[in-house]
A and B are shown apart, each in its own frame.
Chain A
Amino acid sequence: MKARWGLLLLPAMFVSLALLGISQSVFLAGSLHRDLGAGLLGKSWTLYNYAQFISDSYYLETLELSVAVSVMATALTMLLAFPVAYIIARMQSRWSLVLLATTVVSSFVSIVVKVLGLILIFSANGPFNKLLMSLGVVSEPVTIVGSLTGVVLGLMHYSLGFAVLLFYSVVITVPRSLEDAAEIMGASRIGVFRQVILPLCLPGIVAGALVIFNVSMGGFTSTALIGAGKVLTIPLVIERTMLLENGYGSAAAVAALLLATVLVINVVSVATVSRMRRGLIL
């Protein structure tokens, strides 16, 4: 019986690893050839595309912009998602299940629909600006669509749902009695948060932050639509270079760098979290 499970795994593993290996190695190989224009690649192997990335300020600015946007989106998502997850986890009513279910269900709505809604709400004559203007906060509509703010909002919207679920699963592992005990012993709310909740949730918070950052770095759909072609992050540059300029080699090099960034962060995340769990850090 035991031996058969291994046999069962073979074809599935073969298919999965073949798809992974072939697709990734083809484009990585492509990144090592120079573009000759019209979608043709040179024959000789070269690091030209990577050298180009490092020396060309256009690419470096793109990278800087992507990191900045992703860091902002990550920070803001966490500032909203963690309290929400905490409140839901500590709720003692059926509402907690309703809120969790709503979060899960909303994640199944197509991203283009959500982004369409975001654009309508935050457009110059949308309800958000109307509200701000009627409250007298601003006199002119705030430009959100086609700006950095809009792109950050789009990324936040994309991450918020799964961040809440992720942090919920973290907070739920911290027994409420620990907080009660700390409070009875005279700790303030802030004290409880800093000395009980935060240390116990830290591995989960770090892991969650890195997941959100990775997802933001790879964010394409919302950035393309809300950025309206004015905010070009790495994924957008990859798409444009490949599809509009037929720069197979250079697009592949940028994609390889994005992939490397995401994978390195992931490995660092796994390593950090497991060290934290074993008590080696902090």
Chain B
Amino acid sequence: MKPFSVSPRARRALLSGITLSVAYLFLLGPILFVALASFDYGQRAYVVFPPQHFTLAAYNHIPSRYFTALWFSIKLALACTALACLVGVPAALGLVRAKLPKKSLLLALMRMPLQIPGVVVGLAFLQTYYAIGSATGWYAVGTFWGLVIAHTFAATPFVIGTLVAVLQRFDDTLEEAALVLGASAWGTFTQVTLPVLKPALFTGALYAFMVSFTDVPMGVFLTAPGKMTFPVEIFNAMQFDFDPTILAASTLVTVLSLAAVLVVQRIVGLDVFVKTAGAD
């Protein structure tokens, strides 16, 4: 080492700092840029940087169809979350606790939707709905429940995954103690098991909500005019008629999403996220 060169320690710190800056600028820059650009409203089809003015005009001009789509997406994501938990919670409990042959194969099958690309899920459900429609006369394409079913299919593995991860580390003696001390099976479940599972349940539910709320590929196949989800509405607008109001609408939704994450974080803490996000 030459005497006048920087110490290897300092060089490493500098290199680390640069790497982190590049990565997080790339990761967060686009999100921040959309928010920044949304305050610079002009009658043009592109964005000027740096912003020329600061105005809320774009927010006042958000077309009502975005709000309609947003409300539709929220209802859809809530229904999807409820169903994913309804299927995922018993499935996870059963998969970890029941004595079954071929349990790992079963778990792999239940988690399979994670591997299937969204486009394939969209196409598969579209063709399934056509097949059911031509047999029964009821077409699920472009309906609320048609979307709910496909989204639930894609979201359930997230609930199962987060719960299985926690259940495998669960201390059975807690439940045994409750039972020995005279608690009923139901009482043990609601007062011992459920509280321990709560963080994982909230995390899984949040993932399920977001799978539905941010989905584009399934929605492209399964939405119809009047039954549009918010991301598909933005997706179409970006492809066919860019308008500065989509910046405002997007920023609004980003703030809403972050608020939802913050609420869940208040309830369960962030370390559960880090643990379960890394697991998949």
Contact = CB atoms under 8 A, between A and B. Distances in A.
Interface of A: 1-3, 5-6, 8-13, 15-17, 19-20, 22-24, 26-27, 30, 39, 80-81, 83-84, 87-88, 97, 99-121, 123, 125-127, 130, 156-157, 160-162, 164-166, 168-169, 189, 214, 217-221, 224-225, 235, 238-239, 242-243, 248, 251-252, 255, 258-259, 262-263, 266
A106 B49 CA distance: 23
A169 B214 CA distance: 25
A67 B150 CA distance: 27
14 contacts: A23-B128, A27-B123, A84-B20, A100-B270, A109-B254, A116-B246, A117-B34, A157-B27, A166-B278, A218-B119, A220-B118, A225-B235, A239-B217, A262-B116
B220 to A, nearest CB: 6
A114 B115 contact: no
B22 A23 contact: no
Main secondary structure of the interface of B (DSSP, over half): helix
Given A39-B130, A108-B257, A189-B8, 20 more contacts: A5-B98, A15-B87, A16-B91, A23-B125, A23-B128, A80-B26, A100-B274, A106-B27, A113-B250, A117-B32, A121-B30, A125-B48, A224-B239, A225-B235, A243-B221, A251-B123, A255-B120, A255-B123, A259-B120, A262-B116
Interface of B: 8, 12, 16, 19-20, 22-24, 26-34, 37, 46-50, 86-91, 93-95, 97-100, 106, 109-110, 112-113, 115-128, 130-131, 149, 152-153, 156, 185, 206, 210, 213-214, 216-217, 220-221, 230-231, 234-235, 238-239, 246-247, 250-251, 253-254, 257-258, 260-261, 270, 273-274, 277-280
B120 A258 contact: yes
Contacts of A225: 235, 238-239
B93 A9 contact: yes
Given A106-B28, A120-B33, A87 B20 contact: yes
Most buried by A among B30, B125, B220, B274: B30
A91 B228 CA distance: 45
| Most B C-beta atoms less than 10 A away, residue of A1, A24, A115, A116 | A116
A139 B213 CA distance: 42
B128 A266 contact: no
Dominant SS at the A interface?
A: helix
A31 to B, nearest CB: 9
A104 B110 contact: no
Nearest to A26: B128
Contacts of A161: 27
A252 B127 contact: yes
Contacts of B122: 239
A120 B34 contact: yes
A109 B123 contact: no
Q: Name the 8 nearest CB pairs between A and B, nearest first.
A: A9-B94, A117-B30, A218-B117, A169-B278, A6-B98, A12-B91, A5-B98, A5-B97
B39 to A, nearest CB: 13
Contacts of B16: 87
Contacts of A99: 20, 24
B258 A9 contact: no
A167 B251 CA distance: 30
Contact of A220 (B50, B117, B126, B257): B117
A92 B47 CA distance: 41
